[in-house]
Copies of this chain bind each other. A is one copy, B any other.
Amino acid sequence: MKFRIRTLPLRTERIAVVLSQDDAAELGLLPGDRVKVTFDGRSFVAEVEVTHELISSGEVGVCSFTAETCSLMEECVVNITPFARPKSVEYIRKKLDGAKYEREEIRDIIGSISSDILSEVEISAFILASEIVGMHNDEIQWMVEAMVEVGQKVVFEKGTVVDMHSIGGLPGNRFALIAVPTVAAAGLLIPKTASRAITSASGTADTMEVLANVNLSADEMKEITEKVGGVIVWNAATGIAPADEKIIRVEYQLELSPKPHLMASVLSKKLGSGAKFVAIDIPVGRKAKIENVDVGRSFANSLMEIGRNLGLKVATALTDGSQPLGRAIGPALEAREVLEVMERKVEGDMLEKALGIAGILFEMTGIASSGYQHARKIFESGRTLEKFREIIAAQGGDENVRAEDIAVGDKTYTLHAAREGYVREMDIAVLNEIARTAGAPKDKGAGVYVHKKRGEVVKAGEPLLTIYAEKEWKLDNAIEVANTKQAFEISGVIIERYTMGRW
């Protein structure tokens, strides 16, 4: 049937057409069905929405995103025919019944997700099938290959290209800002792509953005890496493995991160950025994505095996996922802390982890037999900070920035210990919620600074954490979270006392 285009003053980030109820019924279409839209010898597939008003019979509405993406103009005439449900939906149903995907099937699913042919409801079926039924290592490998295939791919002509990544979920986990320049200072190439926070208070890209521009294309990323040895950029801007972003958006709504997807997400980004040696950080803890060491070991083994089959040398490190890394949570607070470490003002787990991960890459590439010691030498010589300044400058930031220059939120509140004892447990989910409620990651200066970490002794009245915010009302909300949910568990050395009968 022929329809006249009507552009709507709206923007949804997917390819969809709006039909009147009559026309939809005429074509036998229901909301969520797909149609093939043909005009000028070209065609695309769109999802159908149905409206009772606004669109008259004979008209088809498109939002500005669809109009631009598909080059449609007001009043132009298109032909619309029903389009069969994509095959990929059938494959997902097979997986729900416990079947294994074929290589072509998973390629088709990832292709459909990348080109917006699958609806969010269908993507959620894909996610749930992965979560419940799981995937074999070869299925994950095919998924990675398909994810890389549909995106930008960076190829370095020379040099040893390495990378590092965390599977995420740990507040303050910003070791890469120290490890990347350490690795680059040793002459390796490290085109590090990083995430922005979706549900956390800051991602590595958010924190790096306090210091430099992270929205770089794949070409810019390659150029800077070849020039100064390393970059730290936002992965979505590079266009590498774009299906991942779409899957993660639906996973967020379901509060699920199926392990096959976690693996495919990390490996596809690293494979797409041209790395050959990759060190992967796997935080383990009760509230982390990996709940215990046994699960972590099997996860690490799968990652390494799939990596090998993809031509990647993968090393993994199970790390402490039970408390924040360092003491700062939130973009500016974290950036400041990272600079303080590099300026030798503080030491601690942040530095240890950064040198440990850099060291793994030194050992993998044969640069040093004792990687940690080698990394430590580079760091202590000042070359890490020097290289970090070069990277910041190459990404358009101020190379002379110092820790004290970083502005953090000026509205603050400090929570004090009610009793003495030592910190037995910290709840990283609560710390994350306090920092987000205070405004992170949107308000760069918002977040939480943790004064006490696990095992540290606390006196009654001593500060436990300080909340930073840019806006008074967000501070108030964050204080409420801090006062109603327990971020710290403080206890004496004797946890409980039992007596029997009378003394």
**Stretch touching chain B among A182-190, A251-259, A422-430:** A251-259
Among B11, B90, B121, B132, which residue has its beta carbon within 8 angstroms of that of A253?
B121
Among B64, B122, B250, B256, which residue has its beta carbon within 8 angstroms of that of A254?
B122
The 10 A-B pairs of least Cβ separation, nearest first, read A25-B442, A32-B253, A128-B128, A121-B124, A124-B124, A121-B253, A9-B54, A11-B52, A11-B51, A120-B121
Docked complex Cα distance between A122 and B12 (Å):
20
Over the window 42-59 of chain A, the binary record of Cβ atoms lying under 8 Å from chain B Cβ atoms (1 yes, 0 no) is 000000010111100000
Docked complex Cα distance between A155 and B401 (Å):
76
Docked complex Cα distance between A32 and B53 (Å):
24
Q: Which residues on B sit within 8 Å (CB–CB) of A122?
A: 253-254
What is the oligomeric copy number?
2
Among B11, B89, B131, B256, which residue has its beta carbon within 8 angstroms of that of A53?
B11
When the two chains form their complex, are residues B54 and A249 in contact, meaning their CB atoms are under 8 A apart? Answer: no
When the two chains form their complex, are residues B89 and A255 in contact, meaning their CB atoms are under 8 A apart? Answer: yes
Q: Which residues on B sit within 8 Å (CB–CB) of A382?
A: none
Q: Tell whether A31 is near chain B: CB-to-CB under 8 Å.
A: yes
Q: Tell whether A215 is near chain B: CB-to-CB under 8 Å.
A: no
**From A252, which residue of chain B is reached at the shortest CB distance?**
B30
Over the window 212-235 of chain A, the binary record of Cβ atoms lying under 8 Å from chain B Cβ atoms (1 yes, 0 no) is 000000000000000000000000
- Given known pairs A53-B64, A132-B132, the reply for A32 and B121 (CB within 8 Å) is no
When the two chains form their complex, are residues B125 and A254 in contact, meaning their CB atoms are under 8 A apart? Answer: yes
22 contacts between A and B (CB under 8 A): A8-B10, A9-B54, A10-B18, A10-B53, A11-B51, A11-B52, A11-B53, A30-B198, A53-B64, A89-B254, A89-B255, A90-B255, A93-B255, A96-B256, A120-B121, A121-B124, A121-B253, A122-B253, A124-B125, A124-B128, A125-B254, A128-B128
Q: Which residues on B sit within 8 Å (CB–CB) of A120?
A: 120-121
Among B10, B32, B128, B442, which residue has its beta carbon within 8 angstroms of that of A54?
B10
When the two chains form their complex, are residues A96 and B128 in contact, meaning their CB atoms are under 8 A apart? Answer: yes
Q: Tell whether A112 is near chain B: CB-to-CB under 8 Å.
A: no
Q: Tell whether A437 is near chain B: CB-to-CB under 8 Å.
A: yes
**From A201, which residue of chain B is reached at the shortest CB distance?**
B28
User: For the side of the interface on A, what is the size category?
Assistant: 35 or more
**From A9, which residue of chain B is reached at the shortest CB distance?**
B54
Q: Tell whether A365 is near chain B: CB-to-CB under 8 Å.
A: no
Q: Which residues on B sit within 8 Å (CB–CB) of A25?
A: 442
When the two chains form their complex, are residues B51 and A10 in contact, meaning their CB atoms are under 8 A apart? Answer: yes
When the two chains form their complex, are residues B52 and A255 in contact, meaning their CB atoms are under 8 A apart? Answer: no
- Given known pairs A54-B10, A121-B124, the reply for A28 and B439 (CB within 8 Å) is yes
Q: Which residues on B sit within 8 Å (CB–CB) of A119?
A: 253
Within 8 A of B (CB), among A398-445: 436-437, 439, 442
Most chain B beta-carbon neighbours within 10 Å: one of A49, A51, A252: A51
Docked complex Cα distance between A435 and B129 (Å):
33
Minimum CB–CB distance for A261 against chain B, Å:
15
Docked complex Cα distance between A31 and B31 (Å):
20
Most chain B beta-carbon neighbours within 10 Å: one of A85, A121, A250, A253: A121
Minimum CB–CB distance for A430 against chain B, Å:
14
Over the window 110-126 of chain A, the binary record of Cβ atoms lying under 8 Å from chain B Cβ atoms (1 yes, 0 no) is 00000000011110110
- Given known pairs A49-B12, A96-B132, A131-B96, the reply for A26 and B252 (CB within 8 Å) is no
Within 8 A of B (CB), among A185-207: 198
Q: Which residues on B sit within 8 Å (CB–CB) of A125?
A: 124, 128, 254
Q: Which residues on B sit within 8 Å (CB–CB) of A437?
A: 28
When the two chains form their complex, are residues B436 and A28 in contact, meaning their CB atoms are under 8 A apart? Answer: yes
When the two chains form their complex, are residues A442 and B26 in contact, meaning their CB atoms are under 8 A apart? Answer: yes
Among B18, B89, B96, B250, which residue has its beta carbon within 8 angstroms of that of A121?
B250
